[in-house]
Chain A
Amino acid sequence: MKGSQALIESLKREGVDVIFGFPGGVVIPIYDALFDCKEIRHILVRHEQGAAHMADGYARATGKVGVCLATSGPGATNLVTGIANAYMDSIPIVALTGQVKTAALGKDSFQEADMTGITMPITKHNFLVKDANDLAQVIAEAFHIARSGRPGPVLVDLPMDVSVAQIDYKPYEHVDIPSYKPTTEGHPLQIKKAAKAIAAAERPVIYAGGGVISSGASAELLELTERTHIQVTTTLMGKGAIPETHPHALGMLGMHGTAYANYAVGHCDLLIAIGARFDDRVTGKLDEFARKAKVIHIDIDPAEIGKTVHVDIPIVGDCKAILRALLKHVEPRRESDWNKQIVKWRQDHPLKYDSDHQIYPQYVIEQIMEVTNGEAYVATGVGQHQMWACQFFKCKYPRQFASSGGLGTMGFGLPAGIGMQVGLPDKQVFVIDGDGSFQMNSQEIMTAVANRIPVKVVILNNKYLGMVRQWQELFWNRRYSGVDIEAQPDFVKLAEAYGAIGMKVENPDEVAGALRKSLEYTDVPVIMDFHTVREENVFPMIPAGGTIEQMMISKEAE
């Protein structure tokens, strides 16, 4: 069998049911093999960046490894942003790239780019396959590495001659990489220490991140918070780790987190970090972050322990396994004055926004929840709309929310939403996007139309690159340089030009109706252009590198 067929066989063994890709010269053999493959659906994108984000969105929504495919050179380099995005958020994807034939490697051949070199710092690992007989092993190892331990993207570079070589394909049965053995079980002594610290704490808080979701530890986390009444704040990546409607859920912390989550962390005497990595958007000024607290840090990646914040009780391993073990030692706690204090902060400083004759972006987000009964799956772009989505969309489930956390990739929303919808065909997927972010990958409307993928795109259109404008307003003397994007397409006509449904909404009274209407379309994407208040800001806000004392809680703080 040909190398390309061995590749497809290997992918099938990994349970791959969809590939997001775009063809080119050196991957024709792979496309030829795909042509006969009934088990794997191919979604033809319009730009390779879209393919990488779709694989990413698919992985976030399903928990499976997402797969994207591109040709050598420009096709492969177009994946780079998407791979970096998956790397920063620890999302398991496998990127397959074509490469010039092995004899032409290093000769500056047509459409040659050194992809293993380029992606070295943004992949968990990568492979250049030089012998077709290695294909089965490489693919098996690539998927194993992508999904195990701390998940992440793996790139496999496939020279043309490897794809066409004739080989005897033998499935690779048992992956065993001696140099790669992630620790999954937490150290029992450390777990006991943590349980003791929890029992002794007066003002504990749980800070849960994406690791809770990727390890499937939501049920354990819920049990921990209900048994101990320790309140839970989640990171952007941890959104949905516990139902956000739960009374113990404090919402997001950090730069645009809720005031009460930030106060709780600022005043706690024990911070229980679970699958989170103390990102600078969470901590602000490091010396001041949770400075009264002892820190327990549960993470599968030993390199995250003590990377930025001093940790008192590190526990390396899988969040789910560790929480299970921890629950055997943790005694129930009663609600205390500390709980009451947090409730008071919550009552004193709720998330809020104005209402008048204009459309407020936060209102649109609340209406999405309303019309879908909170069941919508959400992907976002990056910017103000993303932060509002984090604040106002209350997730019921893990994997319900896909957003570019670490890299902050504008243009992530639409392709990620398409990937989610492909992975979860029975769910209603909404893309909450900004007018700026949307335009960065709007070509993927065509992909959604061609493949009858009924994503609902909600553009919160303020005709600004709003987050930068907000910073300019607050910190740069209102000098709005390079942020006015009033020159923009008619999004309704744009949608219709692609064969999608387009709607424009300018009146708050029409918001719910338009959203409800969009639910009626089940085989075509809907693009909704909501003209919102132009200069609304995201609050609360802690300036970059700042402290909770510098938190601007609401508009009045301006």
Chain B
Amino acid sequence: MTHTITVLVENKPGVLARVSNLFARRGFNLESLAVSTTDDPTVSRMTLVCQGDDSVLEQISKQLNKLIDVIRVIDYQGIPIVQRELALIKVAAEAQKRAEIMQIVDIFRAKIIDLSDKTFTIETTGSVEKVDALEELLRNYGILELVRTGRIAMMRGDKVP
């Protein structure tokens, strides 16, 4: 099963290496990883998406918690969350296809943020499924370059970690 996990860590050098090293060493499956600072400059926030059965996920949380620089681990399984991912997609846009692509972009509430004679660069934000769907549709026109941030997530309502 796929789980989304938030890890709050001390904002210190090497902390990302400690986390990624742990996943590599213990053979845990990591699908995506997003890292940034938070409102507190001493704390960084990582959002991990990982796969495994319950016992594997339990080990992931416990092993992460063992790292000295890890402040909190929250596995969102069963907890309502909002989650988003940002993607930039550079797609081939020949003159005769432009209208079609713009229509798709519209329907997905995405944005064209840059263009050239032959390409559009499209920005989209949304759930992983939405980004997947857009990517799938644009594939028909020829995706030249694609970058996704990986999932970020937050609990719904007034709850904070």
Contact = CB atoms under 8 A, between A and B. Distances in A.
Contact of B68 (A121, A125, A301): A125
Contact of A117 (B9, B17, B63): B17
Contacts of B62: 302-303, 305
Contacts of B37: none
Interface residues of B, number: 21
Interface in A153-188: 177-180
A179 B58 contact: no
B2 interface: no
A116 B69 CA distance: 14
B70 interface: yes
A120 interface: yes
Contact of A121 (B10, B13, B14, B25): B25
A306 interface: yes
A328 interface: no
A483 interface: no
B98 interface: no
Given A120-B18, A128-B14, A302 B68 contact: no
B21 A120 contact: yes
B65 A302 contact: yes
Given A121-B25, A307-B59, A179 B69 contact: yes
Given A120-B17, A125-B68, A303 B63 contact: yes
A440 B22 CA distance: 31
Nearest to A122: B25
Contacts of A124: 68
Contact of B58 (A116, A120, A128, A306): A306
B97 interface: no
Contacts of B159: none
A145 interface: yes
A306 B55 contact: yes
B134 interface: no
A121 B68 CA distance: 13
Contacts of A117: 17
Contacts of B66: 301, 303
Contacts of A121: 21-22, 25
A124 B69 CA distance: 11
B154 interface: no
Chain A, interface residues (CB within 8 Å), range: 10 to 19
Interface in A293-310: 301-303, 305-307
B71 interface: yes
Contacts of A120: 14, 17-18, 21
A121 B69 CA distance: 14
Contacts of A128: 13-14
Contact of B70 (A179, A301, A305, A306): A179
Interface in B9-65: 9-10, 13-14, 17-18, 21-22, 25, 55, 58-59, 62-63, 65
Interface string B66-77: 111111000000
Nearest to A303: B62
Contacts of A177: 68
A145 B71 CA distance: 15
A138 to B, nearest CB: 12
Nearest to B64: A303
Contact of B71 (A178, A302, A305): A178
A15 B5 CA distance: 41
A181 B22 CA distance: 20
B17 A303 contact: no
Contacts of B22: 121
Nearest to B71: A179
Contacts of B67: 125
Nearest to B72: A179
Contacts of B70: 179
A303 B60 CA distance: 9
A194 to B, nearest CB: 21
B59 A179 contact: no
A394 B65 CA distance: 38
Contacts of A179: 9-10, 68-71
Nearest to A302: B62
Nearest to A130: B13
Nearest to B66: A303
A301 B59 CA distance: 12
Contacts of A180: 68
Contacts of A178: 71
Contacts of A116: 14
Nearest to B21: A120
Interface in A104-161: 116-117, 120-121, 124-125, 128, 145
B88 to A, nearest CB: 31
A124 B22 CA distance: 12
B124 to A, nearest CB: 35
Given A121-B21, A303-B59, A303-B63, A145 B68 contact: yes
Contacts of A305: 62
A86 to B, nearest CB: 16
A180 B66 CA distance: 8
A116 B17 CA distance: 10
B116 to A, nearest CB: 38
A179 B71 CA distance: 4
Interface in B71-96: 71
Interface string B120-140: 000000000000000000000
Contacts of A125: 67-68
A307 B67 CA distance: 17
A116 B63 CA distance: 19
A296 B70 CA distance: 28
A128 B10 CA distance: 15
Contacts of B9: 179
Nearest to B70: A179
Nearest to B54: A306
A294 B22 CA distance: 31
A145 B21 CA distance: 20
Given A125-B68, A303-B62, 5 more contacts: A116-B14, A120-B17, A120-B21, A121-B22, A179-B9
Q: Which 10 A/B pairs are nearest by Cβ-Cβ distance?
A: A303-B62, A125-B68, A179-B71, A121-B25, A180-B68, A120-B21, A302-B62, A303-B63, A303-B66, A179-B10
8 contacts: A120-B17, A121-B21, A124-B68, A125-B68, A179-B69, A303-B59, A303-B65, A303-B66
